[in-house]
Structure 1
Amino acid sequence: MISCNNDKKTKNNQHKEVITEKTHVSNKDNQVKNTSNNSVKEFSWNDVPKSTADIGTYPYITAPKSMIIDKDESESYEFDKLEFFDGSHFFVLEGKVERMIIEMDGDKPWQQYLFDKSVSEYLKSIGAKLIFDGQIPNELTRKWGSDPNSIYKHMHEFYASDVVNHPVSLYALKTSNKKIGFQVSSNSRSIAVVENKIFEQTIEKITAEAIINDINSKGFTSLHINFDTGKSRIKADSYERINEISKMLKENPNLKISIEGHTDNVGDELFNMKLSENRAKAILLSLVDEGIEESRLKSKGFGQTKPIGDNSSEEGKAQNRRVELRKI
């Protein structure tokens, strides 16, 4: 009835925050007590039965038959977070996240019961445990902020649907090596999935030594220099990298390099070409200001014509927004 699908569509502008616990599940400060004033047991993966079903591949669920995923409205993130509520406590799962918007295939009215029945039965069949079904109490969602804007900001950051005004079904699925959460809302026609994983730091300090080692071994090095959005002005936090490039060139006085700018595919192709040229030129001029002879430098822009990552994902776009220094 439902098969696994790897289609993704990624959008930008999501704030990333690391929240961890011994099972990489974080409990939020918002908690409620039962009516007898006794503490209610918090969510624990130990209470979720281990599934031995074949759950397929990420994101482990797709649209029911006669429905499709709206790729333009759906979002994929290599590392993000979703919030869950078990009826008494809020907790956050962080990891790989898929937010899917579902629509009918063709010009047909939305089949809410078909969606609800299909999704609930499928998740049940692969061993997912329903941990909450209904509308989160208003007295709890009001604690997300001091005004409506801040409340909705929290909601959009942690949920794929309007859980302030509509019900949501929340599931937890555990296998021998995975912990997965599902948010399902037929009112918002959405399914959100998070595959829990540990955050891995990928930022490394760029040094003159690392740059020349790359150039000597590969003939080029790829760097990420931050610019003002849509402009060629170098941001202050990237001048440390400019200084390391300058240091490398001073330590290797016979080296000549071509500074090559690249962009992702967002926006007009001609604009991206010009933007990449201007950004490469801006780096060249900054190096000249650092005392590097301009005769040792060339600059060129390639725009979006030479991607090294998948432009359909945010991670791929970030890889494509780069500057390469090539040995001449």
Structure 2
Amino acid sequence: MRNGNLAAACVLAMMLSACVGATDPAGDAAAGAAAGPSDDATIPRADGAAAVAALPETDDAGADDAARSGSGLEDKEGNPIALVPFDIQSVPLSSASLGELPFFSMPAGYGPVNRPDQRSFARFPFRLGDGLHWVEGASWNSLLGIDRDHRGDKEFSPRELRHNLEAVFEQAGAKQVFEGPLQRDFYYGPQLEAEIGGGFIEGVNLDAEAATTVHVIRQTGRNIWMQLSTHSHGAALVVVEERPFEASARWSGAFPHLSLPAGYADGNRPKQRDFDMYPFWTGSGFEEVEGRTYAADVRARERANSMHEVRRNLEAMMAEAGGVLVFEGRIPKEASDRYDSDLKGFYSDATGFGWDDYESRVYRVDLADGRQVWVHAALDYLSSGWVVAERKGFVQTAALLPASALKQQLDADGRVAIQVNFAVDKADILPDSQPQIDQVLALLREDPALRLSVDGHTDDTGNAGHNQRLSEARAQSVVAALVAQGIDASRLEAKGHGQSQPVADNDTEEGRAKNRRVELVRLD
């Protein structure tokens, strides 16, 4: 909601929309388990254990929370955080008429400080007992303060705001289940800083000891959790309408196999290479996979990005494909630094330059037809992304041109493309290119007056500046190879054109292959 629409008297927002007609997700575990195709599935791990793909809602979420937290949660100082179970049946049923998130209007003169963050599916750890309790579903969170229109004539009062909101919580049939300090450091520990401290920052960014209460509304078909924190100069509110997870992304048999969750789009144009190498971290080393590669940046279109929603959909797709979880966590910095920007640059929209800066998931999928697919997913609170590689041996698509054919085309057109293969994303000429180099040597030796420009070209995938430098380096490598065989350097020039002179459509595999070329151009 915008600030101007929130400066109403503090009453419960009696909206006309009806409650959803589902069974109680906390009281009916079977209903939760049936919510999506991956809800009761597990993803095999490379170490033989089972990684939870999607967990059904239960009355006592302690076991689920522990499974999802992996090795356990720690606060900012490294102290363990308890994951506290909760019996939803202890909350009386409410029949109050509620609409949609965030369900409540603000007291007169109060409203969000910035635009609220709203997510269609996320998870938030509510303060409970001596620790936290995970709740997932649709969420809304914001810092609260004086409404923009009243900042010159009204002072913030935490008592006024709290009394008003707790009054409407009570009118909605809510039960208070926690009262105590916010413990802000809980949300800035190593496991939660990105997802919660970042993604829900305007729900937890108050003093460490800010007074905090948690209320729960239980209705037939939904549970609603509210966490309100206040200190002397502001407040924060998190509201989650608990819902079972429903996967919206599906695995496809066609490359790149992964699809986007509902409400998400590619942040930038996805990039695809017909043949490349990408290193996938396995926990002990890198598996360098050659073949087709695909890189995509995944962002929410209208609502705030939800790292958890992307993660759950990825888990569902991997379960559907029978994928193996090879690694989860943060890739060590010293491992990430083994590869330079030349390799990472092309994939930076999807997985960045520093692979240690976010939570990673690495999967391997062995398809029934013998193909093997690897996925590296980068999970961050602002955006996510993934690189997909389908292992495939190199297939040469260009043909050797003998010296006579080179001369014939040079005489007719003044230029000819030659077949020279290089190491992936490098200027090193591969040994299988020597027969073509030998034919160029023969051409130059048969006509001592011939002078040539060796021109390098790339397709348009990746960074334009990087492509320019790569094309120049590859042209220079060919010139160096010819000079090393006795050709006078004054007869040769090296030029790089990067992606600026395509000869085919870069939107197709065939077109990109034609654009990646080395040409000989006759010099007058």
1:57 CA displacement? 3.0
**Where does residue 294 of structure 2 map in the other structure?**
237
Preserved CA contact (<8 Å) 1:45 1:174: yes
SS in 1 for 2:126: strand
TM-score (norm 1): 0.53
SS in 1 for 2:249: coil
**Where does residue 58 of structure 1 map in the other structure?**
101
Do residues 27 (structure 1) and 65 (structure 2) align?
Answer: yes
Q: With CA pairs under 8 Å and 6+ residues apart, which has the higher RCO, 1 or 2?
A: 1
SS in 1 for 2:294: helix
**Where does residue 74 of structure 1 map in the other structure?**
116
**Where does residue 183 of structure 1 map in the other structure?**
227
Spell out structure 1 runs of 4+ moving beyond 6 A: 290-294
Q: What is the identity, as a one-letter code, of the residue corresponding to 2:58? A: K
**Where does residue 92 of structure 1 map in the other structure?**
134
SS in 1 for 2:506: helix
SS in 1 for 2:159: helix
Separation in 1 of the partners of 2:217 and 2:88?
A: 9
Alpha-carbon deviations, 1:16-40, whole Å to 9, x = none? Answer: x966542494434569xxxxxxxx9
Alpha-carbon deviations, 1:215-249, whole Å to 9, x = none? Answer: xxxxxxxxx985xx657744833599x99xxxxxx
Tell me whether 229-238 or 193-202 shows the greater mean CA deviation.
Answer: 229-238
**Where does residue 249 of structure 1 map in the other structure?**
none
Aligned positions, number: 218
**Where does residue 4 of structure 1 map in the other structure?**
13
Alignment of 1:188-203 (within 5 A): 188-203=234-249
**Where does residue 251 of structure 1 map in the other structure?**
none
Gaps of 5+ in 1: 7-16, 32-39, 209-223, 244-277, 295-328
Change (3 A) 1:127 1:204: same
Change (3 A) 1:118 1:110: same
Alpha-carbon deviations, 1:178-210, whole Å to 9, x = none? Answer: 1111011122422111011111111123466xx
1:167 CA displacement? 2.4
Alignment of 1:239-318 (within 5 A): 284-289=505-510
Change (3 A) 1:233 1:24: farther
SS in 2 for 1:27: helix
Change (3 A) 1:225 1:238: farther
TM-score (norm 2): 0.35
**Where does residue 134 of structure 1 map in the other structure?**
180
RMSD: 4.5
Do residues 174 (structure 1) and 209 (structure 2) align?
Answer: no
Change (3 A) 1:79 1:18: farther
Separation in 1 of the partners of 2:245 and 2:271?
A: 31
Percent pairwise identity? 15
Change (3 A) 1:195 1:55: same
Separation in 2 of the partners of 1:41 and 1:196?
A: 17
Separation in 2 of the partners of 1:291 and 1:143?
A: 46
Which protein shows a greater Rg? 2
Separation in 1 of the partners of 2:205 and 2:120?
A: 23
**Where does residue 161 of structure 2 map in the other structure?**
115
Separation in 1 of the partners of 2:270 and 2:101?
A: 38
**Where does residue 310 of structure 2 map in the other structure?**
none
**Where does residue 452 of structure 2 map in the other structure?**
none
SS in 2 for 1:118: helix
